[in-house]
Structure 1
Amino acid sequence: MLVLAVGTLLLAGLPLLLYLLNLPLFCIAWQRWAKADLSDPQVSVLIPARDEEEGIGQCLQTVLASRGVELEVIVLDDQSHDATADVVRVCAAKDQRVQLIAGVELPQGWNGKQHACWRLADRARHRWLVFLDADVRLAPDAIRCLLAYADRRQVGLLSAFPHQETGTLLEKMLIPMMHIVLLGYLPLLRMRACTKPAYAAGCGQLFVTRQDLYQQMGTHAAIRDSRHDGIKLPRAYRTTGLSTDVVDGSTLARCRMYRSGAEVVRGLLKNADEGIANAALIVPFSLLLLGSTVAPLTLLAVWPWLSGGGSGGDAAWWIAAAAAIAGWTPRVVNAWRFKQSAVGAILHPLAVLVFVVLQWVALAMQHSGRRVRWRGRD
């Protein structure tokens, strides 16, 4: 019992230590960057859109309200089945900064989003590129802050995590897991000090780069078949020796990624095989995640049957309790710092268990040749 308790404390304590080191590095004081000098404020905002009728108008409104930059906004309607293109045309008629281009039949070997981003970048005229998902809503100073940060810090590809809005219970439980994995297991100092592909990380909802660096990296053609640009695009930059960075953008942008529990499950399964759900990572990550949250609580729950009043029993109970607290702490702090769901934080051990199970389901699906369909495509 004592050995098990100490093991769970190590599994929970080490990610907690890294989390405490990472948190101030991840959270940027954006007020400073809103006032920073920006030598070239010209930016092309590139938005791939497929069946985004309900939200594309709001997305464009927030982009067009951006301060301190010179904009062109290009939307690619990726063969939508709804009125996405009509909404964009109305916006373009009111504001000449907005352009609409039509999608084409998807070429063999391309993922839909990557092909759309590649075509959008090919149309862009400005030095700076912002790749933006259609469900993201920007604050007025967001683009200027991100451009100034990327320029001053000489970041090849900058990714910002928007505030993640959640509605259903599974959203509240599982969407915040991205912060747990990022801040608990990626050393941000090391990531910023080197360009090794192993440290690639990002959020595909919001990317900032320069046109020349984007071409140097190989454009989205370098990840043409990927469904998870949040990892694959930063990795492509790093493979060519360019730097990447990932920061908190919760005060700069907001996004509701999924709209139901079923979408959450399908979304996680879609991306998992390019993330944790592979033969090299799934076992160690399962042990790390379960060992830091589920295991300490399991030890405490079965304590009456395992202790038997043996030597060191009281110490083992306290160590297991400390491990449970250490494993829960990042989720509780995140709920406060990033305005995440308190219910999701309370259910964190269950969220970890569900998250790990979904990684194994994704791995099984990968080996059986099955793929989750997303937005009407394989």
Structure 2
Amino acid sequence: MKNINFISTSQIKENKNLEKLFQYAFLKDLNIYCSILNGNFYIDSHNYYPIMERDLSTFPDQFDWQNKREVFNNKDFKENFFKNKKDYKEISDAFILGSSPGNNYYRNIWTFLIRLNFISQKEINLAIHRNTSNNVRNFIKFFLDEKKIKVNKYIYLDDGFYFCKNSQIPSFLKSIDVIKFYEYLFPSSGNNTENIYISRRNAKWRRVVNETDFSSHLEKEGFEILDFENLSILEQIKKIQKSKKIISPHGSGLTNLLFGRNNSEIQVIEIVQNNIDKELNKIYLKYKEISEYKKNQHYFFGADLASNDLFRYIKTRNLAEGQHIGSKNIRRNPYFKNFIVQEKEFKKLITNFHKR
């Protein structure tokens, strides 16, 4: 079986032919740069890891987000690629932004959308996944309108491989650069005095099933109960930037901490499951890590697990997120369960939190 060639940044710099494949965009004020690959390459619409047509080279230093390099060690992946690459759908003259195939808000904001800022052309054909929500599409439009970039055509990717001819794909940014960049793009101003509770009552999992037991107490203590899914992304950003205290079950709404103020201006209580095992610990820490970088206070409140309504979800909705996670994983993994909080203890926490 043929092999895919992994090329490092140092190898690119030493080879003029490889260097010609890339354009570089640099933000001097933030010391952030992005490599933009140009040419003919293959991608799959899950990992967005480009493989050059000519010599099957790929570039892990630029495109290895969340250890995606591991996919190339998968025998089925390689067999499928080499067997079927001549038959892949072809797109041409495209800027491959990509987006989460499961329409995951955290992944879209954190990994994909930030790269819109490195488009240099005034007119483009933009490739994103077909499952991208209207909310995210509107945010993309906002970005491009601000930069006065015209989209001649949107190319909607289905699941699977594509051959991209005469196209571009920007590299993925380091985590610290993502945070710095969003702070630069969405500076917060004014006083943040609001207290909010981000509800997940309409979510498929990590919903607090006894939320009604304490919702009136939240309102009594001055917390506004919000459904972020009913707000545009810009409205969510404004709410976070005005907030002093935030309570929320673990979920993608906390991605918006990226846009909040720094230096202990925000205090967060995140509802998580009790007794988190090592496998899930890294996932549960991702929002706290944003707070820690921004030097804000972030605490966990442990909740008991409750079952989810998996059967209704898969049978009646069959949405992209469930397809990509897999029903077996949803059934077994505690990350996809709902929460029950101890009412008395949680009400006491709300009162004490309000008084801080």
Normalising by structure 2, what TM-score?
0.28
Normalising by structure 1, what TM-score?
0.27
Higher helix share: 1
Higher strand share: 2
